[in-house]
Structure 1
């Protein structure tokens, strides 16, 4: 047999490879990455330095060699045979495995309107390099999609004095993942910075210099970027007969329907105790799932229990959301000197928290809120809303209880 094969060399797959060594695995580990670079981090792609896109490696070639991780770059898996335990690569090579980790991540959703090929995607280093090489001061960019990726890109482009238009099918931007009060504040900030919004609008056609809206409107643009979200990369799993839904379906231990195959990161949909499955699309969860999958592939039996969390930087504002805020939750707002926090309680128990502030103004409070959530105890709503009550004090009381 061929040891362990990991499909996907992003944050999740790469961290899993090193975590397997840390867990004591001495068998061969093969890491398969579709891009012709060393494994790199995606968040810096939207933050160019001196006009150049950052390619920030997760690890160097020496680290891979020192850990005896065989990194196959610029090649993808084209076929998975579970009975023979083999993976066929796009260059014709065939790998065998004892255990396999699917960490293929997600792919950008593609526009389906006429002329969709004129719109650039924004997911990989090559995508970012293409966008920023054309986005110069005085140019105009139309971003299709008012989610986190589109709004973050808009903020960076405005700092370069690029005219930005955001076209969003929903009535408000950031409506899917960001709490309404913070989505509204970020929307207002973008308007103040000169971003033009076309909300509740569909697209009929894209040309090389304009976007034609479904209601006959027209948005002129030197460049069009599609930022309408991602979908899990699960084609390999589907073709191999693994259970799939909104991603590759896994249990609490990140095992797929085949006991020798695990899945983690953006491609994995994790079983919920209340039923159904959920995907967590964030940098931190990719790392946490990588470590859990590695321990379990090494013979452990650890359930994945990390709290969902994500962040977004737009202009000088930092957003963080921990947990899964729901409309049915009781909302408690705490005003700070440089920001605002919103806590979400379910039956008196803190289950989620979000914050928006200048720079890292709310980062420490969100971290304390995460600890309160993990404590799993009831928290006084009035105390949460009072900025004079230190969250550390509440955490000490919770731990004492």
Structure 2
């Protein structure tokens, strides 16, 4: 029957466990997580998980794991991998044998030096426990300072404003969303935040952050100070590779895997936020994606490959962010684009298409209220996967059916 051990009880690990059962695997499955909760989804942590004081949005309840015959160990960190004996060791000394091992260890929030344990007034947002701590400060009359103008920081800013807290967002670069989001779309997002009362400070370098039990103070390089009831640092994430590195597995901006998600050990696979992999649609460029869709896709793919399918990654990167009534969606990666054209869907929704110098569509980025851009972004994703070279002028015209371009 065999035994598959999954280290990392998040979205990716849980999806892989259930997919193994759906694919007919009847051996032992052990899913091991360091947090006290069953696997839950992280995107709500900066949105509804904050605004509604909700419990985690679980991937599945305990009964479903029981029925599927998946043993879930929560609040159980893994301390080591023994590749010779093919076992993992828990922090209490218990050893669990595996025939195949999946590392879905995810990532942790990046911090600023000197703030790790400085005060409860300085937080990051990565876990449900983090969200619970932050939620206590999101109320009228409270002031929140957010470091970082990426998705997490901006989503948190939108939620905090909805709950009545004052928000200052500090970004070191010249604009928000500088990583992978076109400037035209970032400008729409910035304008909306300012209209909602968020104080956006770009090109603001931080000297240090001071804090005590009562308040926090951000000291900027130009001498200006920003006082707040809470400072939340949202400057990206670091892949959790320590277990893999200690076991001698190859590391390259994450646990290095091939196109089938296999590590440098043929019996160990890695998936989700913790791994870097070659992306076939972009010349096998090695990337690491911190994205909900990627965790789901790779969880399913790796389940089959743990059972010998040998299937290569073929999905196109996809990202989204909800802020106020706006939804931003991106399919693909725009790096290497030489031409960008704009398709206006309405007065408040548009899509940018990014093509390389051969005319191949690399990426599409859209923004608008609700689901205004969802259908066209989905079709653009399919065009990218098919390697299409659509006529740029056809992309501009809103009356052009993208489905027709896909069939051409």
Name the residue aligned to 2:263: 256
- Superposed CA deviations along residues 298-354 of structure 1, whole A, max 9, x for unmatched, are 111100111000100011100000000126331110011140011112212222111
Question: Any residues of structure 2 matched to 1:27-176 within 5 Å, and which?
Answer: 27-48=27-48, 51-113=52-114, 117-118=118-119, 119-176=122-179
Select which of 338, 342, 345 maps to 2:352: 342
Name the residue aligned to 1:330: 339
C-alpha displacement at 1:275, in angstroms?
5.5
Q: Residue 114 and residue 36 in structure 1: after superposition, are their counterparts in 2 closer, same or farther (change >3 A)? A: closer
Select which of 236, 241, 252 maps to 1:245: 252
Name the residue aligned to 1:7: 7
2:106 and 2:188 map into 1 onto residues whose CA distance is 31
Instruction: Identify the range of structure 1 (101-110 vs 188-197) with the bigger mean alpha-carbon deviation.
Output: 188-197
C-alpha displacement at 1:135, in angstroms?
1.5
Q: Does 1:298 align with 2:301?
A: no
TM-score by length of structure 2 reads: 0.94
Name the residue aligned to 1:211: 218
CA contact (8 A) 1:351 1:373 kept: yes
Name the residue aligned to 2:16: 16
TM-score by length of structure 1 reads: 0.95
C-alpha displacement at 1:101, in angstroms?
0.2
Question: Any residues of structure 2 matched to 1:184-199 within 5 Å, and which?
Answer: 184-199=187-202
Q: Residue 164 and residue 309 in structure 1: after superposition, are their counterparts in 2 closer, same or farther (change >3 A)? A: same
- Superposed CA deviations along residues 247-297 of structure 1, whole A, max 9, x for unmatched, are 000000000000000000000100345455211111111111111111011
2:116 and 2:71 map into 1 onto residues whose CA distance is 41
C-alpha displacement at 1:366, in angstroms?
0.7
CA contact (8 A) 2:138 2:164 kept: no
CA contact (8 A) 2:40 2:57 kept: yes
Question: Any residues of structure 2 matched to 1:271-286 within 5 Å, and which?
Answer: 271-272=278-279, 274=283, 277-286=286-295
Runs (4 or more) in structure 1 with deviation over 4 Å come to: 113-116
2:115 and 2:52 map into 1 onto residues whose CA distance is 32
Name the residue aligned to 2:400: 389
Secondary structure of 1:392's counterpart equals: helix
C-alpha displacement at 1:201, in angstroms?
2.1
Select which of 354, 363, 383 maps to 2:374: 363
C-alpha displacement at 1:39, in angstroms?
1.1
Name the residue aligned to 1:311: 320
Alpha carbon RMSD of aligned pairs, Å?
Answer: 1.6
C-alpha displacement at 1:204, in angstroms?
2.3
2:185 and 2:83 map into 1 onto residues whose CA distance is 46
Secondary structure of 2:327's counterpart equals: strand
Secondary structure of 1:257's counterpart equals: coil
Instruction: Identify the range of structure 1 (177-186 vs 108-117) with the bigger mean alpha-carbon deviation.
Output: 108-117
Q: How many residues align?
A: 397
CA contact (8 A) 2:337 2:362 kept: no
1:79 and 1:57 map into 2 onto residues whose CA distance is 27
Q: Residue 120 and residue 380 in structure 1: after superposition, are their counterparts in 2 closer, same or farther (change >3 A)? A: same
2:144 and 2:39 map into 1 onto residues whose CA distance is 29
